[in-house]
Amino acid sequence: MFIDEATIRVKAGDGGNGCLAFRREKFVPRGGPSGGDGGKGGDVVMESSERHNTLVHFRFNPEYKAQRGRHGEGSNRTGREGEDVLLKVPVGTIVYDADTGEKIYDFSRPDERVVIARGGRGGRGNARFATSTHQAPREHEEGRPGEERSFRLELKLLADVGLVGYPNVGKSTLISRISAARPKIADYPFTTLQPNLGVVMVGGPSEERSFVVADIPGLIEGAHQGAGLGTQFLRHIERTRLLVHLVDVSDASGRPDPAKDIAVIAGELESFGAGLEKKPVIMVASKIDVANKDKLAKLKRYCKKQGLELFPISAVTGKGIEELKWAMAVKVDEIRASLQSSVVSRQEETAPVENADLPGRPH
C-alpha cells in the first residue's frame, strides 16, 4: 500500500514536579531543604530512513506521546528524564504544521534527525530556593507541559528521472524493462495507481552508472484540477531532475495528433506550478513495433521543430531501449554536475574573507 500523505498529533512528555522535602536525620537538628528537581519530559524526534518508502504506518497510528519526566524526590534526588519517541519517515518527506501550514522540515537525505516537539522542563525542588535569609523554603515548582502539536506529512519521491505521459503509453512496461521494478501492467486506463521506483544501471564494471526512475501514474487533460488521478501524484515529479515524456505512436490510443498529446501534458505540468515545465525533457516515441507511420512522422517533425531529442522505442521487443538508457544516464550526469558546480560557486560567494572587517567590529 502506497500512502504519501498523513496527519499526526504528537505530545512531548511533561516535566516532573519539583519535590518539597526536608532532611530529617538523627543528630542533624537543622537538616534544611532537600527536595530534588523533576526530570525533563521526553522529546518527539523525527528521523529520515531509507528502510521506509511510504507513510502507511502513520495512517493507522496517528498519535504519539513521549514519556513524562519523573518527579523529584527527597535527599536532593533528581527525577529521571522521560524517554524520547523516535518517528521514522521516508527520505523525501516534508513536515508541515497542520494548523498554520508552515513548513517545518524537508527530509532530503537519509539519517537526518529533528526534534518536532520538545519535552517540558522539570520543576525545581525546594532546595533550589534556599538562601542565607530564607533557609527553610517551602516553594517548589510543577513541571512544565511538553509541546503538543499536529503535523501534516507529505511524501515526494526522490528520483532522478520521471516518466510522464497519457495513461497506457507504456511507462510501466518501460520501467519494468530497464530496472528490477515490477509494476502492474494491463491494457486499460490508470493501471498504475501508485508511483513505482526503479534503479537503472548502465555501463560495464569499470564505468558503471546508476540513476533512479519514477513511473508516475498517467496524466490527462485537467489533471492539475483533479481530473483522473489529478494532483495526487503530480507533486512526485517536483523532485525529479529529468522528465522522459512517452508518446504512444500506435493506433491503440485513439489520439491521432501526437503534438496535441504533448501540448496537453506540458500544459498540465505548467498549470500545476512548481517549475515542472522548466525541467529538461527527453521525448520517447513508444510502441514503435506497432507504430502508425503518419503519427511517428508527425512526432519527428514536431520534435525537430522544437529542438527536442526523440528516441523511438519498443519496450516489448527491446528496440531502442539501450540508446534511451544511455541518453538518460548522460543527461542525469550533466544535470548533477551542473548542480554541483552551482553549489560550489554559491559556497565560494558566501565564504568569509580572511582579515576582512565585519560589520560592528572595531577597527
Cell numbers for 199 = 534503479
Q: Given pLDDT bands bounded at 50, 70 and 90, which one contains residue 188?
A: very low
Q: Is the pTM of this model over 0.75?
A: no
Cell numbers for 313 = 522505442
Q: Determine phi and psi for 358, rounding to 5 degrees.
A: -80, 155
Model pLDDT, residue 171: 81
| Angle of CA points 294, 270, 104, to nearest 5° | 145
Q: Given pLDDT bands bounded at 50, 70 and 90, which one contains residue 4?
A: confident
Q: Is the CB of residue 71 less than 8 Å from the CB of residue 112?
A: no
Model pLDDT, residue 343: 59
The Cα-based distances of 288 to 180, 274, 294, 312 in angstroms read: 23, 33, 12, 6
Which position has the higher pLDDT, 120 or 174?
120
Q: What percentage of the chain carries pLDDT values higher than 90?
A: 30
Q: Is the CB of residue 22 less than 8 Å from the CB of residue 34?
A: yes
- What is the rounded CA–CA span in Å between residue 184 and residue 249? 22
Q: Given pLDDT bands bounded at 50, 70 and 90, which one contains residue 201?
A: confident
- Over 60: is that where the pLDDT of 363 sits? no
One DSSP character per residue, 9-76 reads EEEPPPPPPPP--B--BTTBTT--B-PPPPPPPPPEEEEEETT---SHHHHS--EEEPPPPPPPBTTT
Cell numbers for 241 = 531532475
Which position has the higher pLDDT, 217 or 227?
217
The percent of the chain in helix, strand and coil, each rounded to the nearest 5, is 25, 25, 50
The residue type at 158? L
Which position has the higher pLDDT, 349 or 267?
267
**Domains with residue ranges and CATH for the chain:** 1-155 (2.70.210.12), 161-346 (3.40.50.300)
Which position has the higher pLDDT, 82 or 31?
82
Exposed/middle/buried for 84, CB within 10 Å: 0-12, 13-18, 19+?
Answer: middle
Q: Is the CB of residue 250 less than 8 Å from the CB of residue 165?
A: no
